[in-house]
Amino acid sequence: MVKKNLNPYWGEEFCFQVEGFNEELLLCVLDEDKFFNDFVGQLKVPFADKKSLGTAWYSLQPKNKKSKNKGCGEILLTISLCQSNSCLHQTFPCNHIESEMPKPANHEDKVEGQTTYSSFEEAMRIMMERDHGGEIPSNLSGGILLDQSFVIAPADLNSLLFSPDSNFTNSLAKLQGTKELQIGPWRTENGSDNLKRVVTYIKAASKLVKALKAIEEQMYLKADGKVFAVSLSVSTPDVIFGNTFKTELLFCITPGPDIQSGEQTSWLVISWRMNFLQSTMMKNVIECGARQGLKDGYEQFMDLLSQNVKAIER
């Protein structure tokens, strides 16, 4: 990821195992926005086409023919195939043709730019200091999974759900049959004000799909001590058509209603949507399956959360 640059140079190298020359490489370019990433363009490179080997400029294509944005820019790739495995060497000078190629970014600076905090409390303190009073993100378009108030302060509910010291995530994983849960540290990187972490796990098998790996990218969009907004972007690459979509969720925690006891309360709203990275005829099937899976999963989430904090009856 390159910040604040319309002609970025990534200079990244990747290697992929290819079973045969009938396969093709699918590459998607995204533009990072404040809350969620926008699709810029995509590219399919067939390995059977010998012209795809070497270094060449490629035109990025829209998601589908109906897309209003036809000019998606260009990208420079260097592709080579090895006998024992297939190696893709990617060099991304810019999204649009330029007369001069920008200098490569310093990879070591990116690594050094990562900041991992010694405690969750410290990370939240830094987030509060950097908060500029921006608006709360709107609910996502897929619908509401949970809309409930609880007898707990917003900061405490935030810690219960997202602190590494909380047992809630592990308890939920056990309840849902999730295996191999790995929770990465919260960190900021490349000068970003947003805290991020990556959570990976094996989702339990259901009636529709087998057990599969999920990669969940979590990011704080807002944390001012009273209001907390966290986005979750979940990839399931092993599922059928898994490379065509991501499931996105938004957790919003705000102060809840006043109650007679005078205790602090929180209002938790969890919304979701499907982000399709490319067009597919299976879109409706995927959305329906995801909606049912999320509905079942967050009913279990609500049951477990109600065992930890008191829900306020409406």
Q: Say which CATH number the domain at 292 has.
A: 3.30.530.20
Q: For tokens 């599922």, name the residue.
A: 239
Whether residue 200 sits in one domain with residue 85: no
Please choose, from the candidates 170, 245, 243, 173, the residue with its C-alpha nearest in 3D space to the C-alpha of residue 203: 173
**Does some domain include residue 110?**
no
Whether residue 33 sits in one domain with residue 138: no
Would you state the structure tokens that stand for residue 246, as one six-digit string? 């991501």
The pLDDT value given to residue 93: 41
**Does some domain include residue 253?**
yes
Whether residue 192 sits in one domain with residue 275: yes
**Does some domain include residue 2?**
no
Whether residue 192 sits in one domain with residue 82: no
Structural element, H or E, at residue 129: helix 120-130
Confidence band of 7 (pLDDT split at 50, 70, 90): low
Please choose, from the candidates 84, 59, 56, 58, the residue with its C-alpha nearest in 3D space to the C-alpha of residue 69: 59
Provide CB contacts within 8 A for 59, sequence distance 6+: 43, 72, 73, 74
Whether residue 63 sits in one domain with residue 25: yes
Would you state the structure tokens that stand for residue 66, as one six-digit string? 């109906």
Whether residue 177 sits in one domain with residue 74: no
Would you state the structure tokens that stand for residue 226, as one six-digit string? 């009273």
The pLDDT value given to residue 208: 62
**Does some domain include residue 222?**
yes
Whether residue 120 sits in one domain with residue 100: no
How many domains does the chain fold into?
2
Give Cα separations from 177 to 170, 183, 283, 286, 295 (angstroms): 10, 16, 27, 22, 16
| The domain boundary residue, chosen from 53, 83, 105 | 105
Confidence band of 36 (pLDDT split at 50, 70, 90): low
| The domain boundary residue, chosen from 49, 82, 105 | 105
State pLDDT tens for residues 241-289. Answer: 888 899 999 999 999 999 999 999 999 999 999 999 888 888 888 888 8
Find out whether 50 and 32 touch, Cβ atoms under 8 Å: no
Whether residue 163 sits in one domain with residue 39: no
Angle at 114 between CA 113 and CA 115, to 5 degrees: 115
**Does some domain include residue 232?**
yes
Confidence band of 172 (pLDDT split at 50, 70, 90): very high
Would you call 141 helix, strand, or coil by DSSP?
coil
For strand 115-116 and strand 196-203, is the pairing parallel, antiparallel, or unpaired? unpaired
Instruction: Please state the pTM of the whole predicted model.
Output: 0.64
The pLDDT value given to residue 238: 83
**Does some domain include residue 251?**
yes
**Does some domain include residue 184?**
yes
Please say if the pLDDT value at position 179 is more than 80. yes
Whether residue 276 sits in one domain with residue 158: yes
Confidence band of 21 (pLDDT split at 50, 70, 90): low
**Does some domain include residue 313?**
no
Higher pLDDT, 215 or 188: 215
| The domain boundary residue, chosen from 60, 79, 105 | 105
Whether residue 19 sits in one domain with residue 52: yes
The listed range with the strongest mean pLDDT (35-39, 167-171, 210-214) is 167-171
Would you state the structure tokens that stand for residue 81, as one six-digit string? 């195939």
Confidence band of 229 (pLDDT split at 50, 70, 90): very high
Write out the residue range of the structural domain in which residue 232 sits: 115-308
Find out whether 220 and 229 touch, Cβ atoms under 8 Å: yes
Whether residue 91 sits in one domain with residue 176: no
State pLDDT tens for residues 103-121. Answer: 333 333 333 557 888 789 9
Q: Give the span between the Cα atoms of 241 and 247, in whole angstroms.
A: 13
Cα-Cα-Cα-Cα dihedral of 291, 292, 293, 296, to 10°?
Answer: 120
Whether residue 127 sits in one domain with residue 52: no
